[in-house]
Amino acid sequence: MEETLRVRVIGGGLAGCEAAWQLAQAGVGVTLHEQKPEKRTPAQTSDRLAELVCSNSFRSSNVDNAVGLLKEEMRRAGSFLMACAEVAKVPAGDALAVDRVIFADVVETRLRAHPLISLVPGEVQCLPDDDVTTLVATGPLTSEALAKDIARLCGQERLAFYDAIAPIVDAESITTDDEDPQGGAYFKSRWNKGDSADYLNCPMTPEEYDVFYDALRAADLATAHEFEELHYFDGCLPIEVMAERGKDTLRFGPMKPVGLFHPVTNRRAHAVLQLRKEDIHGSSYNLVGCQTRMKQRAQRDVFALIPALKNVRFLRYGAIHRNTYVDAPTVLDAQGRLKARPSVFFAGQITGVEGYVESTASGLLTALVLIDQLQGRALDVPPPTTALGGLWRHCRGVLRAAGNTAFSPSNVIWSMMPPVDAVPVINARGKKQKPDKAGRKKQASERALIDLDQWLGRRRQEGRFVGAITKVLVAAPEVTTTGAATSSATTGGS
């Protein structure tokens, strides 16, 4: 790569640090702009780069779990931050948890020591309008001035400041009317408009609705951060706030039964919760209008009172929190560049992924895409069967079920990958049988890792860049008496 190539990265959080490292490893000069120490987001408490603002966990490491698979793929693809996390690891069962101080110090020390990275402190208030390729990774709490400028370029309505998401549940765990003709969910679109296969309807009798309503009113709510004093729009109220307004508010809102007569009995239920197909594979459904602040346990308990959801498994819980993100499928192109200004790429949580691991993965992928582009190569992203590929496609909007134009941020979930053509397994009695859910996840995970290795192998053969960690990176830091880490050790291998 020509030495003169430079990329500007804005935001020294998880995505920005991962991307800066990978770009520099590919020979690109990086100027990394981070507003700290001059300014912090309301969630930050330190002046370090790559700050973990809440939990110290990167979640499960089990590859039969979607986030565990994502982490394994990132390791194979040479993720810088995953290698730093190994150095800072603390015991946490099957999860990868880190000492956040050591983690941030390892990341920052390595970045500062990299000859191709220069760190520039201070807030960037608007998107630069020059010919330097820029990567915006300013995260869920992007500073106000920059957010305003992004909104100016992509349209006010294409930049969200709050995430009000409804739960997503596993299609297989919904009780349908085949299994329970009275309370089971049935396919039908309201007034038979559109494709009836897109909606499953969960009917409730007056008694069932009363029980559900009382539980909803009594449910435990998650406490908001101080800076999250939410002002709800009327069109996007949390289900519990609607319930506060009166017993029938939901029945005239998201649970209205009109136009949803049962296709066999032709009966009209007292209330109906609609579930909308969430992904093109039909493996998950969204609880329409059920954005909520209920604690996760309460979500499980309250929604299970709806007969069709009595055994339901949550793939993603509902949540409402501060989150700045763009409507990525609309405003970004296939490479993650702002359509209105193609010299500007976006990565991290601002693109509609959620969580530490996913944001880091987004930084890694975007760096690879950007490096390919700088080398004049065509777009080459991981296969759809991988967690990395699924996450990338989620942000492009291609996984949404037909007719679903809304874009909502998400953690990595299995429904981002196509279901496996399950290979029968031999049971205890020596007979062939279809694998259960856990068996299918195992097969999907094996498939993902094989496909990822092939993809990485092909990239190497073609002389494309794959993530690169170096010897010095995996060195154990020296921990000072104050708990802060320094980085003189140089042992370890890549």
Ligand X SMILES: Cc1cc2nc3c(=O)[nH]c(=O)nc-3n(C[C@H](O)[C@H](O)[C@H](O)COP(=O)(O)OP(=O)(O)OC[C@H]3O[C@@H](n4cnc5c(N)ncnc54)[C@H](O)[C@@H]3O)c2cc1C
| Chain position carrying tokens 């709510």 | 221
Which residue of 7, 9, 16, 202 would you call a contact of ligand X, by CB under 6 A?
16
Q: Which is nearer to ligand X, 114 or 447 (CB)?
A: 114
Cβ 421 to ligand X shortest distance, Å: 32
Q: Which is nearer to ligand X, 355 or 477 (CB)?
A: 355
Q: Is 485 in the site for ligand X (CB under 6 A)?
A: no
Which range of residues in 136-144, 148-156, 183-191, 274-282 is near ligand X by CB under 6 A? 136-144
Cβ 79 to ligand X shortest distance, Å: 13
d(CA 224, CA 124): 28
Which residue of 11, 167, 336, 390 would you call a contact of ligand X, by CB under 6 A?
11
Q: Of 17, 3, 28, 35, whose CA–CA distance to 372 is shortest?
A: 28
In this structure, are residues 331 and 339 in contact, taking their beta carbons and an 8 Å threshold? yes
d(CA 473, CA 84): 7
Instruction: Compute the half-sphere exposure of residue 428: CA atoms within 13 Å on the CB side of its CA.
Output: 0
Which residue of 139, 184, 254, 390 would you call a contact of ligand X, by CB under 6 A?
139
How many other C-beta atoms can be found within 10 angstroms of the C-beta atom of residue 238?
A: 22
Which residue of 133, 349, 410, 487 would you call a contact of ligand X, by CB under 6 A?
349
In this structure, are residues 150 and 127 in contact, taking their beta carbons and an 8 Å threshold? yes
Contacts 24+ apart (CB under 8 A), 171-176: 171/282, 171/283, 171/284, 171/285, 172/283, 172/313, 172/437, 173/311, 173/312, 173/313, 174/200, 174/202, 174/275, 174/285, 174/308, 174/309, 174/312, 175/307, 175/308, 175/309, 175/310, 175/311, 176/200, 176/308
Q: Is 37 in the site for ligand X (CB under 6 A)?
A: no
Q: Considering only residues 241-280, where is the footprint of ligand X by CB under 6 A?
A: none
Cβ 457 to ligand X shortest distance, Å: 29
Residue 264: is it exposed, middle or buried by C-beta count within 10 angstroms (0-12/13-18/19+)? exposed
Which residue of 61, 65, 138, 385 would you call a contact of ligand X, by CB under 6 A?
138
Going by their DSSP bridges, the two strands 29-34 and 89-90 should be labelled as: unpaired
SS3 content of the chain, % helix, strand, coil (to 5): 35, 20, 45
Which residue of 238, 307, 355, 390 would you call a contact of ligand X, by CB under 6 A?
355
Which range of residues in 71-79, 105-113, 347-355, 443-451 is near ligand X by CB under 6 A? 347-355
Which residue of 7, 14, 84, 237 would you call a contact of ligand X, by CB under 6 A?
14
Which residue of 8, 21, 24, 34 would you call a contact of ligand X, by CB under 6 A?
34
Which residue of 37, 55, 267, 433 would you call a contact of ligand X, by CB under 6 A?
55
The DSSP call for residue 377 is P
Q: What letter represents residue 352's amino acid?
A: G
Cβ 419 to ligand X shortest distance, Å: 26
In this structure, are residues 97 and 56 in contact, taking their beta carbons and an 8 Å threshold? yes
Q: Of 413, 421, 414, whose CA–CA distance to 441 is shortest?
A: 414
Handedness of CA 238, 239, 241, 242 (dihedral sign): positive
d(CA 20, CA 49): 12
Binding mask of the shown chain, residues 196 to 235, with x at each position contacting ligand X by CB under 6 A: -----------------------------x----------
d(CA 123, CA 143): 8
Q: Considering only residues 145-204, where is the footprint of ligand X by CB under 6 A?
A: 146
Going by their DSSP bridges, the two strands 6-10 and 29-34 should be labelled as: parallel
Binding mask of the shown chain, residues 91 to 130, with x at each position contacting ligand X by CB under 6 A: --------------------------------xx------
Cβ 408 to ligand X shortest distance, Å: 15
Binding mask of the shown chain, residues 430 to 459, with x at each position contacting ligand X by CB under 6 A: ------------------------------
Q: Considering only residues 290-329, where is the footprint of ligand X by CB under 6 A?
A: 322
| Chain position carrying tokens 């039908």 | 188
Which residue of 5, 7, 8, 12 would you call a contact of ligand X, by CB under 6 A?
12
Q: Which is nearer to ligand X, 14 or 312 (CB)?
A: 14
Q: Which is nearer to ligand X, 124 or 474 (CB)?
A: 124
Which residue of 3, 54, 421, 431 would you call a contact of ligand X, by CB under 6 A?
54
Q: Which residue is nearest to ligand X (CB)?
A: 13
Which residue of 22, 25, 41, 201 would you call a contact of ligand X, by CB under 6 A?
41
Residues in touch with ligand X (CB under 6 A): 10-16, 33-36, 41, 43, 53-55, 123-124, 137-143, 146, 225, 322, 348-350, 354-356, 359
